[in-house]
Amino acid sequence: MNQEVLAALLEALERGEEVALVTIVSAQGSTPQRVGAKMLVFPDGHTVGTIGGGCYENDALWKAKEALQARKPQLVKYDLTDDFAEESGLICGGQMQVYIEPVEPAPRLYIIGAGHVGHQLAHVARPVGFRIHVLDDREKFANAERFPAADEIIVDSIPEWLHKAEIPANAYVVVVTRGHRHDLDALRSLAARDLRYIGLIGSKAKVKKIYDALIEEGMPLECLSRIHAPIGFDIGAISPEEIAVSILAELIAVRRGRIEAPHVAAASLQWKKLPASLTKE
């Protein structure tokens, strides 16, 4: 059974899908499954494998879905002699602990803009585990010579490609194009999507101008409030290399659960202070 679970886990990761792995890590007394039994839980609730069935397995399923949402593991103890076990008809007289672990595929990083910052960001993001996807309308910049480690390089109209692209919900997207118009085009397609991370390069003035334009077009404020803008941590970055590091630091912090989406009301325009060099590409 565990072979089936592990095969399904590998297939899910190859598809870029997040799953939760539930494993019995300790057992005392009589239990319906032994230590090591595994169950894989998908975001839609379907499962592969079993840790013994009954109400406690159903409870573990719901906790696994919660763990996927929170992106944090859980250790849960079940007493198979209590009322909870009686409801499932599994009064075995034992106790067991299950470890519920969210398993994420290598995160996809979509770099919208293949200029100096995008080039440096791809260079530093790949070694820490991001799968790199680059989009630009200039083949001179978006090519395999400049992005040798990229999983995908797209040379296409930025708004047209983004409009039709199916970007997974757990993806990270950074908008670092060469100008205001391209940034606006990109955010017009991205802001309403429920993505793990969306970041926009630029000064407070530039961000405000783009947000004002989107709001005038009817973009809801809650969509804009999820965007990290200006992008990156304030580390005093000046060069494209330093700016890429500041962006990567923010990506890692989101990936590891150290910071969440900004949740700053777009109307307040209380943007983070970053150096004016972040407006340059």
Q: What is the DSSP string of 46-87?
A: -EEE-SS-HHHHHHHHHHHHHHHHHT--EEEEEETTSHHHHH
| Average pLDDT for the chain | 87
User: Which pLDDT band, with edges at 50, 70 and 90, does 81 fall under?
Assistant: low
More confident residue, 10 or 1: 10
Question: Cβ(191)–Cβ(39) under 8 Å?
Answer: no
Q: CA–CA separation, 218 vs 87, rounded Å? A: 51
Task: Please give the CATH topology (third level) of the domain spanning 108-279.
Answer: Rossmann fold (3.40.50)
Rounded mean pLDDT, 222-246 = 94
**pLDDT above 50 (res 223):** yes
pLDDT tens for each residue of 111-163: 999 999 999 999 999 999 999 999 999 999 999 999 999 999 999 999 999 99
Find the angle CA(178)-CA(180)-CA(186) to the nearest 5 degrees. 85
Work out the percent of the chain whose per-residue pLDDT is above 90.
66
The per-residue pLDDT for 260 is 66
- Specify the range with the lowest mean pLDDT, choosing from 54-63, 81-90, 99-108, 199-208: 81-90
Question: Cβ(56)–Cβ(84) under 8 Å?
Answer: yes
pLDDT tens for each residue of 13-69: 988 889 999 999 998 877 777 899 999 999 999 999 998 877 788 889 999 999 998
Rounded mean pLDDT, 251-256 = 93
pLDDT tens for each residue of 91-102: 555 788 999 999
The per-residue pLDDT for 47 is 94
The per-residue pLDDT for 241 is 97
**pLDDT above 60 (res 272):** no
The per-residue pLDDT for 82 is 56
More confident residue, 188 or 53: 188
Rounded mean pLDDT, 4-10 = 93
User: Which pLDDT band, with edges at 50, 70 and 90, does 84 fall under?
Assistant: low
User: Which pLDDT band, with edges at 50, 70 and 90, does 261 fall under?
Assistant: low
**Domain-by-domain residue ranges, the chain?**
2-103, 108-279
Work out the percent of the chain whose per-residue pLDDT is above 70.
87
Tokens of 28: 């005392």
- Return the C-alpha torsion angle 43, 49, 55, 58, nearest 10: 0
- Phi then psi dihedrals of residue 117, to 5 deg: -70, -45
**pLDDT above 60 (res 174):** yes
